[in-house]
Amino acid sequence: MNNKVMIGMSGGVDSSVAAYLLKEQGYEVIGVFMKLWEGRGESERACCSLSAAEDARRVADRIGIPFYVINMKKPFMDKVVDYFVDEYLQGRTPNPCIACNKHIKFDEFLKKAIMLGCDHVATGHYAKVEYSSEHGRFLLKKSATDEKDQTYALYNMTQEQLSRTVLPLGTYNKGEIREIASSIGLVTANKPDSQEICFVEDDDYASFVKNMSKKKIQPGNFVDRQGNVLGRHEGIIKYTIGQRKGLGIALGWPAYVVDIDPKTNSVVLGTNEDVFKKGLVAGDINVIPYEKIEDGMKVQAKVRYNARPKPATVYNMDDGRIKVVFDDRERAITPGQSVVMYQGDIVVGGGIIESSLE
């Protein structure tokens, strides 16, 4: 393999410093901004905006690497945005960053890199890729600091993708990255982190889904766990498991969303205790260190990006799905989100949550 690497540059500080570090390590670096979406405002945090592309170009000029803009709007629409909208319409809560990493950043982007003569791709993710002679496979491992670790969003990576991926930020914390950016005079040194989904303006998921959907969003019933009608809701796209605020209903007790039933267009309400479940069933499984998960494997599992991994046991199901049973009941297990499993700092793999277990 050659040492030519194509790095995705978003116009943020992380990918900017990642590009600089790769050049310092002796790679022949090509910077690429992926044009994914139109219609965003020019917010400083809008990673798909024209100003973000210009920031990425200025960084590339500063560190002396070639820079290109690649149009990926169609695959992004097909594989990420349409998926996002459809999942919400089905009463699930998707994670579009996971879909984007799987289909765009480490699939379409890698294919373009290989076409351009690069053997590797890189991003500014906080994670590590290492080859393990013990496993005979490439491993995805947590970054140096749990605070910035981004392995939850990368669990779908294949052995081929891992073998061609360089993640230079895995041994750094965020403060160190900003210090490096300042020391070499990058315009992105003090740029705020992007906090929202890049294609959803003002974090208003429900309005986005409503505007993008060809289906009319229908109101329906709030019901209790026995099916008794409690009131009316404005459409299932406005709710997610564990939600308490913004329900628009007063019952005289703290009500939480404990289930969403798209077949009956119902939102099930219960107590905070009802939100805790013993486990989950997940499909679309990807495993990294092994050919497959050993039945009864002990892991640490997390069901949301910002959650702490909790002790759990994994069981294989006959149809290729897995059952994950937590040692202690876990809060707000949400269909559409991903469960990601760890052993120490090694990512075992993960899958899409289909249902919770009482």
Long-range contacts of 133-138 (CB under 8 A, 24+ apart): 135/289, 135/290, 137/288, 137/289, 137/290, 138/162, 138/163, 138/288
Side chain identity at 152, as an amino acid letter?
Y
14 marked ligand binding residue: yes
Q: How far, CA to CA in Å, does 40 sit from each of 118, 194, 204? A: 31, 13, 13
Residue 15, annotated ligand binder?
yes
Residue 357's DSSP bridge partners are 279
Q: Is 8 annotated as a binding residue?
A: yes
Catalytic residue among 47, 48, 118, 198: 198
How many degrees, rounded to 5, is the angle at CA 60 between CA 57 and CA 65?
135
For residue 9, say whether it is annotated as part of any ligand binding site. Answer: yes
Question: Please, which residues bridge with residue 259 across strands?
Answer: 268
How far is Cα of residue 255 from the mean position of the Cα atoms in its chain?
A: 28
Rg (CA), the chain: 21
Q: Which of 47, 48, 100, 118 is catalytic?
A: 100
Distance CA 179, CA 171 (A): 14
Give the β-pairing of 346-357 and 276-287: antiparallel
Residue 29 counted as an annotated binding residue: no
34 is in an annotated binding site: yes
163 is annotated as contributing to ligand binding: no
DSSP string, 13-52: HHHHHHHHHHHHTT-EEEEEEEE--S-----TT-TTSHHH
Q: Is 47 a catalytic residue?
A: no
On whether the CB atoms of residues 346 and 300 are closer than 8 A, the answer is no
Spatial distance between the Cα atoms of 140 and 234, rounded to a whole number of angstroms: 42
Continuous H helices in the chain: 13-24, 50-63, 73-76, 82-89, 96-100, 109-115, 159-163, 174-183, 205-212
Give me the residues paired with residue 350 across strands. Answer: 286, 340
Catalytic residue status for 118: no
Does 12 carry a binding-site annotation? yes
Label residue 122 left, alpha or beta by phi (over 0 means left) and psi (-120 to 50 means alpha): beta
Residues annotated as part of the active site: 100, 198
Annotated binding-site members for ATP: 8-15, 34, 124
Annotated binding-site members: 8-15, 34, 124
